[in-house]
Amino acid sequence: MTTSREHTNREYEQELRKLREQVLRMGAKVEEIISGSIKALLERDTVLATRMIAFDRKINQMEIDIDELCMVILARRQPVASDLRFITMALKLVTDLERIGDLGVNISERVVELNDEPQLKPYVDLPRMADEVQSMLREALDAFVAGDPDRAQAVIERDKTVDAYYTQVFRELLTYMMEDTHNIYRATRLQSIAKYLERIGDHATNLAEMVVFMVKGKDIRHTGKLEGESAGG
Amino acid sequence: MKLDIRTKLVLVSLGLIAVAILVLEVAVRRQIEGDIYDSLRADLFGRLELIEHDAALHVSDMDSAGWNRWAEEFGRRSNLRVTMIGSNGVVLGDSAVDAKEVPEMENHRDRPEFAAALRGERGDSVRWSGTLQRRLFYAAIPVRAAGTGRIVGALRVAEPLDRLEFAIARFHRTLLLAAFLALGVAVVIATIAAQLMSRALRGITMAARRMSSGDLGARIRLGGDDEIGELGRTLDGLAENLSQSLAELRGERDLLGRMLESMQEGVLVLDRDLRILLINRALREMLFLGLDVVGRLPIETIRNAELQAVLDAAASQGKPASGEVEIAGLGQRRFMVHSTPLGGEPRGLVAVFVDVTEIRKLETMRKDFVANVSHELRTPIAAVRSAAETARRAIEKDPEAAVRFVDMIERNALRLQELVEDLLELSRIESKQFKPKSEPVDIVEQAEQVLAQFREAAEKKRLTMSLVAPPTRPVAHADKRAVEQVLTNLVENAVKYCRDNVSVTVRVVEREGMFRVSVEDTGPGIDPKHLPRLFERFYRADKGRSRDMGGTGLGLSIVKHLVETMGGNVSVESAPGRGTTFSFTLPAFESAVASPVPSPVPAPA
């Protein structure tokens, strides 16, 4: 009786471990898409961009697999407390990751379109914004790995920087468009890419908020702060 | 129950003493009793003989009262109890009983001693006497009628066993004393023995405990040939062997560890569950990881999809897998990862990371170079082809135009030649075979020659040229032809890109055994973002313009290589609108000759 329960526990542990591993794998894949798409943009590499677009299917499959695993664990083990938080969080996390992957693919699609034309202008803010967003995504996933709400909190604060970048890029592109109507096609594509990056930043913030929820069991969505932490600063 | 050695020893001696005393008690008591009975018996029968003689005289004429008196008389005299019975067992007289009570006494025929006496034998017996309330020794003999010898009765004497009891009591006292004495001695000896033994054992225990906690240097060093000494020596030997084999193992392990740690390639070892078992220094430094990643999954610590794919491939297929992986650490780095399943049990995976960032960068440079060369060659060739075609058509209708196109062909052919020569020159310099000559070079003389070469061109573009040099003729330790080429390239560049009232100055400065030669112009200058790449082959700050001016894109590259092979270095300073200064250094001849190996930091004068 005891051994069979222990056995079940070990299987359960195994399943949780697998879930965590798969979420991280998906995270890694999404990171790869984002960095590949940005590299394709900066180096005007159409081949790379096309390869990134093809990764979308893989990401979708990963999302389905993780969802299924979560359902199986929920149905068979009826987890409670932190395990339940972890599984429900994984369910939401993959949705965000999948969206981020989609946005990465969108960037690559715009890159393919842009590469048909000469470069509009040297990119200045866009690479910086991309760096910031990538680093936010990396930090959010690191915080998830480490179960570190402080690091997650730091990611949340950085969303403002990305928003500021977006406004700046948008304004600059607007001047290009007003200057010459021939610029509009390329400028709107660049503006879309900036928007995608900004959206990725939002999703990374979501991830970070969920990490805080998972660790502390406290919902900080829509407030963005852990209570009492602002006073402690 | 836990007993220490002393208690056990005392208990054992106690047991031994008890057994000894028990044996002694039984054996000695029996002997003492036997001895005492024998002497009593002899004594009593002796006295009986005497009394019997008297009794035999009175047998025929004595009545009951007379016997009693007689018995009392003898009893008093011999200090014994004397009893006389008739041949039918009736008591005739007894010294311990009043005459009146004698007739009421029971028949004594069945008493063992009387029974024996009535049969004509001597009889004795030890019994509890109901009459006297004590244990008595009885002895009886027959009384025979004088003359006939017929047994007419029996005579008995009895003595209390006081003597026996006294002797036995004394014996018991002695025995008890001896037992106590033995016990005391046993306790003392046991204590001493236990002390000695347990001290030795405690020593062994302590040493063994230290050994088991890892201190294999602990030794017992016990003397003595007994078992404990033997045990101590065996343990010492064991520790000796253990520490020796441990030292060997440690040495091997250290060697392997040192090898792994000092390898340039990153090594990652995963256990059966694909958790990190070992990560060497090189990989930790490459990926900015600490030792805390041991025991975690690679996906948690490195989190790279491509790397995970390579590791998974090796783990799932059980055979080596490789792949090139780009990992973002501090900057992007490319790694060639070879991952192989570990042979034997327990299973695992080993992955070797080779940093190929530089190799890939060089490959890119080489690819770019080939592309650049082809591009540079294609332009003049295309010009030659189109000019040749046009010339052929024009040769009859418009000979003058044809001449112009032939000129164009010539010009482009010349350009091609220059390009090819520059390429050859560059590859000659870059190849290891190129050895600059070591000769004294008069820098000022070289500079004057080069300036003279461009005098005409400069005048055409209204440039002023000047040379500033120290009054001492600076003599460098270099290759004359190389110095000339370097100066030519630099001055040519200045003349090429400047016009209208710009001054070009060649300045020679001596500093710490080195000459610094600069070619300065006050021309348009170069955008600072181009400066770091200016010395790369085919790099052009202004693509369209420089090609129009007939540059090959290799001049500065050649300058850099030549100066460096002569032990100097090249630098450039520029600000847009204010001019450009190219400088190079050369070792002075004196200092170079004074110290055979040209050193960048010469000894102070």
Instruction: Give me the residue from B299, B306, B328 closest to A24, CB to CB.
Output: B299
Across the interface, do A21 and B304 touch by the CB < 8 Å criterion?
no
What average pLDDT does range B428-447 have in this prediction? 78
Across the interface, do A28 and B297 touch by the CB < 8 Å criterion?
no
What average pLDDT does range B26-37 have in this prediction? 85
Let me know: does A152 contact A189? Beta carbons within 8 Å.
Answer: no
Q: How confident is the model at residue A101 (pLDDT cuts 50, 70, 90)?
A: very high
| Number of neighbours of residue A148 by Cβ within 10 angstroms | 16
How many Cα atoms within 13 Å fall on the side-chain side of residue B33? Answer: 8
Strand order across the B276-279 sheet: B276-279, B266-270, B349-355, B331-341, B321-329
Please give the Cα distance from B412 to A178 (Å, whole number).
44
pLDDT digits (tens, 9 = 90+) for B239-255: 888 888 988 999 998 99
pLDDT at B208 (0 to 100): 84
Mutate to test the interface with B, among A13, A18, A24, A43 (most CBs of B within 10 A): A24
Task: Give Dmax over CA atoms of chain B in angstroms.
Answer: 213
Nearest residue on chain A to B328, judged by CA atoms? A35
| Contacts across the A-B interface (CB distance below 8 Å) | 32
Share of chain B above pLDDT 70, in %: 93
Q: One-letter amino acid identity for B259?
A: M
pLDDT at B77 over 50: yes
| Number of neighbours of residue B505 by Cβ within 10 angstroms | 17
Question: What would the two tokens of residue B589 be?
Answer: 């001849």
Q: How confident is the model at residue A106 (pLDDT cuts 50, 70, 90)?
A: very high
pLDDT digits (tens, 9 = 90+) for A108-145: 999 999 988 888 887 888 888 988 998 899 889 888 88
Read off φ and ψ for residue B598, nearest 5 degrees: -65, 120
pLDDT at A193 (0 to 100): 93
pLDDT at A200 over 90: yes
Q: If residue B508 lies in a helix (H) or strand (E), which one and from where to where? A: strand B503-511
In chain A, which residues have their Cβ closer than 8 Å to the Cβ of B364? Answer: none
| Number of neighbours of residue B371 by Cβ within 10 angstroms | 11
pLDDT digits (tens, 9 = 90+) for B171-191: 888 888 988 888 888 888 888
| Number of neighbours of residue B41 by Cβ within 10 angstroms | 14
Task: Kindly tell me the sign of the dihedral angle through the C-alpha atoms of A152, A153, A158, A163.
Answer: positive
Q: If residue B115 lies in a helix (H) or strand (E), which one and from where to where? A: helix B112-118
The pairing of strands B81-86 and B266-270 is unpaired
Q: How confident is the model at residue A204 (pLDDT cuts 50, 70, 90)?
A: very high
What average pLDDT does range B546-570 have in this prediction? 77
In chain B, which residues have their Cβ closer than 8 Å to the Cβ of A29? Answer: 305
Please give the Cα distance from A175 to A163 (Å, whole number).
19
Radius of gyration from C-alpha coordinates of chain A = 20
pLDDT at B603 over 50: no
What average pLDDT does range B427-452 have in this prediction? 80
Nearest residue on chain B to A35, judged by CA atoms? B328
pLDDT at A233 (0 to 100): 32
Helices A184-216 and A149-179: crossing angle, nearest 10°? 170
Let me know: does B533 contact B539? Beta carbons within 8 Å.
Answer: yes
H helical segments located in B263-304: 281-287, 298-301
Preceding omega of B103 cis (within 30 degrees of 0): no
Across the interface, do B328 and A32 touch by the CB < 8 Å criterion?
no
- Listed ranges A215-219, B126-130, B583-587; the one with the highest mean pLDDT: B583-587
Q: If residue A104 lies in a helix (H) or strand (E), which one and from where to where? A: helix A81-114
Let me know: does B556 contact B578? Beta carbons within 8 Å.
Answer: no
| Number of neighbours of residue B565 by Cβ within 10 angstroms | 16
What average pLDDT does range B379-400 have in this prediction? 83
What average pLDDT does range B340-369 have in this prediction? 85
Q: Which stretch of A210-219, B19-28, B399-408 has the lowest confidence by average pLDDT?
A: A210-219
Instruction: Please give the mean pLDDT across all residues of chain B.
Output: 81
CA distance, residue A189 to nearest chain B CA (Å): 26
Question: What would the two tokens of residue B389 be?
Answer: 């075609």
User: CB neighbours of A46 closer than 8 A, spacing ≥ 6?
Assistant: A40, A111, A112, A115
What average pLDDT does range B230-236 have in this prediction? 84
Please give the Cα distance from B338 to B342 (Å, whole number).
12
Q: A228's torsion region: left (phi>0), alpha (psi -120 to 50) or beta? A: left
Report the candidate in B48, B25, B28 with the shortest Cα–Cα distance to residue B36: B28
Burial class (CB in 10 A: 0-12, 13-18, 19+), B439: middle
Task: Kindly tell me the sign of the dihedral angle through the C-alpha atoms of B249, B255, B258, B264.
Answer: negative
Helices B555-565 and B399-430: crossing angle, nearest 10°? 30
Let me know: does B117 contact B125? Beta carbons within 8 Å.
Answer: no
Question: What would the two tokens of residue B585 be?
Answer: 């250094």
Radius of gyration from C-alpha coordinates of chain B = 67
Task: Kindly tell me the sign of the dihedral angle through the C-alpha atoms of B418, B424, B427, B431.
Answer: negative
pLDDT at A166 (0 to 100): 93
Please give the Cα distance from B24 to A99 (Å, whole number).
105
pLDDT digits (tens, 9 = 90+) for B262-280: 888 889 998 888 888 888 8
pLDDT at B597 over 90: no
What average pLDDT does range A31-35 have in this prediction? 90
Please give the Cα distance from B381 to B403 (Å, whole number).
18
Question: What would the two tokens of residue B236 be?
Answer: 């010492």
Across the interface, do A29 and B305 touch by the CB < 8 Å criterion?
yes
pLDDT at B605 (0 to 100): 39
Instruction: Give me the residue from A24, A32, A134 closest to B306, CB to CB.
Output: A32
In chain B, which residues have their Cβ closer than 8 Å to the Cβ of A21? Answer: 297, 299
In chain B, which residues have their Cβ closer than 8 Å to the Cβ of A145? Answer: 300-301, 303
In chain B, which residues have their Cβ closer than 8 Å to the Cβ of A27? Answer: 303
Residue given tokens 């530089």 in the structure block: B358
pLDDT at B171 (0 to 100): 84
DSSP code, position B602: P
pLDDT at B589 over 80: no
B308 in A contact zone (CB under 8 Å): yes
Across the interface, do B300 and A24 touch by the CB < 8 Å criterion?
yes
Q: B120's torsion region: left (phi>0), alpha (psi -120 to 50) or beta? A: left
Instruction: Give me the residue from B303, B306, B328 closest to A24, CB to CB.
Output: B303
Q: B290's torsion region: left (phi>0), alpha (psi -120 to 50) or beta? A: beta
Higher pLDDT, A96 or B227: A96
Q: One-letter amino acid identity for A212?
A: V
Q: One-letter amino acid identity for B16?
A: L
Q: If residue B411 lies in a helix (H) or strand (E), which one and from where to where? A: helix B399-430
pLDDT at A228 (0 to 100): 46
For the CA atoms of B8, B9, B12, B17, what is the dihedral angle to 10 degrees? Answer: -140
Mutate to test the interface with A, among B299, B311, B326, B332 (most CBs of A within 10 A): B299
pLDDT digits (tens, 9 = 90+) for B284-311: 888 888 778 888 888 888 888 888 888 8
B313 in A contact zone (CB under 8 Å): no
User: CB neighbours of B168 closer than 8 A, spacing ≥ 6?
Assistant: B29, B32, B33
Burial class (CB in 10 A: 0-12, 13-18, 19+), A167: exposed
Distances in whole angstroms, Cα of residue B23 to Cα of each of A66, B12, B16, B54, B183:
90, 17, 11, 47, 16
Nearest residue on chain B to A27, judged by CA atoms? B303
B328 in A contact zone (CB under 8 Å): yes
pLDDT at A4 over 60: no
Nearest residue on chain B to A147, judged by CA atoms? B300
B304 in A contact zone (CB under 8 Å): yes
Q: How confident is the model at residue A230 (pLDDT cuts 50, 70, 90)?
A: very low
In chain A, which residues have their Cβ closer than 8 Å to the Cβ of B306? Answer: 32
In chain A, which residues have their Cβ closer than 8 Å to the Cβ of B328? Answer: 35, 134, 138
CA distance, residue A231 to nearest chain B CA (Å): 32
Please give the Cα distance from A134 to A34 (Å, whole number).
7
Let me know: does B29 contact B171? Beta carbons within 8 Å.
Answer: yes
Let me know: does A60 contact A185? Beta carbons within 8 Å.
Answer: no
Please give the Cα distance from B92 to B37 (Å, whole number).
27
B300 in A contact zone (CB under 8 Å): yes
pLDDT at B130 over 50: yes
The pairing of strands B439-442 and B475-478 is antiparallel
Across the interface, do B308 and A25 touch by the CB < 8 Å criterion?
yes
Nearest residue on chain B to A145, judged by CA atoms? B300
